[in-house]
Amino acid sequence: MRFLVTGASGMLGRAVADTLAERGEDVTVLQRRPSGSPHHEVLGDVADPIAVQAAVDGQDAVIHLAAKVNVVGAWEDYRRTNIEGTRALVEASRAGSVQRFVQVSSPSVAHAGDSLAGVGAGPADPERARGNYARSKAAAELIALGSDGPDLTVTAVRPHLVWGPGDTQLIGRILQRAKAGRLPILGRGTSLVDTTYVTNAADAIVAALDRAEEARGRALVVTNGEPRPIGELISDICRAGGAPPPRLRIPARAAWAAGAAVEGVMALSHVLPGVPPMTEPPLTRFLAEQLSTAHWFDQRETRQVLDWTPRVSLAEGLELLAEATAAEQESTDHESAQGTTSQ
């Protein structure tokens, strides 16, 4: 079969494309710029109907991962990429030969700020979702699932906190802040949080393609199914990534107030002349909520519908992260030694 994968320059999209190729599928990736991908590349923006049509032409299935994922940014940027990009892909798929469509979404589309403990995939709600990313992804999921019909099966898969070696989003930011001494534990650090190792997330997305009829019209949350206290989880990630575990603790309410203050400064930076906009805020209200509330999900429906189970445990994933960190450090040390010798 012929598969189009968007967002394959990211860790998860690349893993999905590679997983499909390894089993002999014909894989095309839609990207904004050349990436050196081993798969056939079509260059273009997901919000450009002409580029999307060229990428979708002749495909049997589409896996849509491309998205604007930053914590902060202008609503128009999220709307264009996440909402209009999804709309363009769905419309091109319905007009072409595509039979299966998997929308890679996020549990945040159904999160209104409260703890999520052992719940399933609630309905996507753009009005209640927190922040521009979650609101735009909620609207995108509704567009995708609303296109499920006789000629196109659509499934939304919501991987939760995907991570692995080489991850520049979750792992990269945790380690960067830990090494700089700017990574606090909010509250007691006991809220349970589940995550998804990248191999498991990719397998689940591919399973949604294989089980298209069983999964059609559904939204399914995907995790490792191994919730851990967030303080313990962050500390384990830091150790595996070669960073000191956080020692600073901040009350959750104080963190939320600090996040609100940071957002106020960010808002002013957009209107005050000469003040550069803040692109990587140290804390926002959304981040404070994510770091102090429970986020774990009932996986029974997901595993039954997709006939899927994770093959990399949390402990194994941490071991793989530690091995990759050690290999990277060894390579850095080797390059440093070579540089010293050549001088």
Which positions are annotated as active-site residues?
133
Tell me if 189 sits within 8 A of 300, measured CB to CB: no
Please tell me whether residue 13 adopts helix, strand or coil conformation: helix
Across-strand partners of 156? 103, 219
Alpha carbon distance 248, 180 (integer Å): 12
Ordered alpha helix ranges (H), the chain: 11-22, 49-56, 75-78, 85-95, 131-145, 170-179, 198-210, 212-215, 230-240, 252-269, 285-290, 300-306, 314-342
Instruction: Give the chain's count of helices (H) and strands (E).
Output: 13, 15
Alpha carbon distance 25, 209 (integer Å): 12
Phi–psi pair at 277, nearest 5 degrees: -65, 145
Radius of gyration of the chain (CA): 20
Please tell me whether residue 267 adopts helix, strand or coil conformation: helix
DSSP 157: E
What sign results for the dihedral spanned by CA atoms 295, 297, 302, 307?
A: positive
Count, residues in the chain? 343
Alpha carbon distance 242, 245 (integer Å): 9
Tell me if 262 sits within 8 A of 284, measured CB to CB: yes
